[in-house]
Amino acid sequence: MGQDRHAGTIAALPQGNLRHLVGWRPTLVGAAGAVASGALLTSAFPPLEWDWAAWLALVPLLLAPVPATPRRRALAGLLFGLLHCVTNLFWLNEVGFGAGVLLAAYCALYPAAWYLGVTELSQALGALHPGRGGHPADLRPGWRQAVYILGGALLWVGLEWVRSWLGTGFPWNELGVSQWQRPLLLALTCCTGIAGITFLLVAVNLALALVVVAWWRGVTKGTPRRAARAPLLTGVVLVGAAVLAARSAPRLPAPSGSLRVLAVQGNIAQCREWTEAQFAEALDVYTGLSLLAAPANRPDLVVWPESAVPAPLTYEPFKTRLQQVLPQIRTPLLIGAIDSRALPGARWTGTDWEPPLLDFNSALLLAADGQRLESYDKIHRVPFGEYVPFSRYLPWLVRMIGMGRDLVPGSEFTVFDLGQGARAGVNICFEDAFAEISREFVRRGANVLMTLTNDAWYAESAGSRQHLLHAVFRAAENRRPLLRSGNNSDTCLILPDGQVSGLLYDVVTGNRFLRGTQVYEIPLYDSPPLTLYARWGNWFAQVASALAALLVLGLTVRIVGARAARRQALQTRSVA
């Protein structure tokens, strides 16, 4: 009788309401899939670093019911992208202005576009019924599944590559970064760059979705399970090709020597506008640690991070103090600092320079007597941190967000001669997220890479750890050791194979956010070989992007043609 009463209740409901309730069920399940995929994708990066999650993070989204209309598919993709990007970039909110949320809203457009593209690709390959979205369950076994896997992976790589250069570029946390602890995959970057790992991860996700569908249909409907053969075979072939490419990574000879470096980590809190008291504190901390550690360890070089002291190097008290301290350290100093310089031909008016001095974010090599030997000016500036785009037309934005000055970009990839046969290319701050910059240093003869950074802006969040992982790939892609000097955390040496060594941390608590020093023996190699990546750059990402563009063009033609056919059919019916 309970069943009869229930049936009667359902029958009594207005049919429109019933359709409404039934129609919302796939939408809710689809939203749950988008949320699950977004959360899994974030968990593959710091702070959790569950790298295994990247191999299946997209599967819930792919298996969920696909909304019937393009607008709803776009919303589902945007939900997936927003959840991942907001949680992944939440640390950026430490600088204020909701910076993490604003940047996440932009970055979310790329995974949303990928979801739209991959569902349209599935629809095109599966010859789906009108009104249904692109779902793996609707794909016919065989070559269509292989095209679906390859096309979806190419599309993701292409979109990440566009994100890496569009506007000022933001190649942060590309999907392959999650695999920083996998030596075999790190070796793959010598050939393909990080894009090769990203391609493999997305392809495996797509193949897994097809295998799950084939298995589920075999269990529930008794259909032949050979439908899983094509995605399994495609996955095996791609993994095999990746292994062969990784095995081709050049082997380095035994080190011919080493460079002994003392890295100083002051752990100084940051300020938007420094005071004399903050300047004095930072200068006391860095000079004090250097004077304490250098005589005991006898390094070849002392390294201070980016903006170690919050004042231009030309500030007289700063310059005077260095001239007093360096003869006591008796060691060259590589320091990150603001460098104010006059243009060639500038004249002193008696009160100021005409034209005014230009400010650069620089890495400077000072001799033991304080003489400036070489300098490198940061080429890729941080928008809204080191300059405000369109500042001439948006003065209110400068007042609200700006740091009080626009830094001038550098133009020369300076390779420092550090002695002992060490030739170093120095990234400043998040320049090490841009693979081409480290590559240019290597092509100009660098056998050592360095990063001088100041991640103290993000306090003790996951920002510094995420930043560190990008440096791992710069070392692995070029087969060069990389010394990372941080202001508040993650000072370490990264070996040419990507292994992190000598991370500075508190041995009792495990805390990485501390004040201290560490000595590193950087291995040096005479004429180390150039990797394929160092020679050809982002060739894999560019080829993938070109193929993805052709794929998008084909899908666009198909969509336009289908709409034209529907309009023609409607006109024919109205005439009839």
Q: Catalytic positions, please?
A: 306, 378, 429
- DSSP codes, 128-146: PPTT----GGGPPSSHHHH
Is residue 375 a contact partner of residue 395, using CB atoms and an 8 Å limit? no
Residue 435 structure tokens: 């693979």
CA distance 485 to 450: 8
Nearest Cα neighbor of 231 from 115, 121, 140, 120 is 140
Q: Could you give the count of Cα atoms lying within 13 Å of 300 in the half-sphere of its Cβ?
A: 14
Phi, psi of 389 (to 5 degrees): -55, 140
CA distance 515 to 370: 25
* Helix, strand, coil percentages for the chain (3-state, nearest 5): 55, 15, 30
Distance of CA 130 to the CA centre of its chain: 39
Nearest Cα neighbor of 172 from 54, 52, 92 is 92
Pairing between β-strand 500-501 and β-strand 492-494 as defined by DSSP bridges: antiparallel
Is residue 180 a contact partner of residue 194, using CB atoms and an 8 Å limit? no
CA distance 552 to 555: 5
Buried b / exposed e along 239-263 (16+ C-beta atoms within 10 A): eeebeebbeebeebeeeeebbebbb
3-state DSSP assignment of residue 357: coil
Pairing between β-strand 482-486 and β-strand 492-494 as defined by DSSP bridges: antiparallel
Alpha-carbon dihedral 199, 201, 206, 207, rounded to 10 degrees: 110
Nearest Cα neighbor of 51 from 181, 196, 172 is 181
- Residue type (1 letter), 184: L
Residues, the chain: 576
Is residue 329 a contact partner of residue 354, using CB atoms and an 8 Å limit? no
- Helix and strand tally (H, E) in the chain? 17, 14
Q: What is the CA radius of gyration of the chain?
A: 28
- Residue type (1 letter), 141: P
Is residue 307 a contact partner of residue 487, using CB atoms and an 8 Å limit? yes
Nearest Cα neighbor of 172 from 473, 507, 545, 414 is 473
Is residue 467 a contact partner of residue 453, using CB atoms and an 8 Å limit? yes
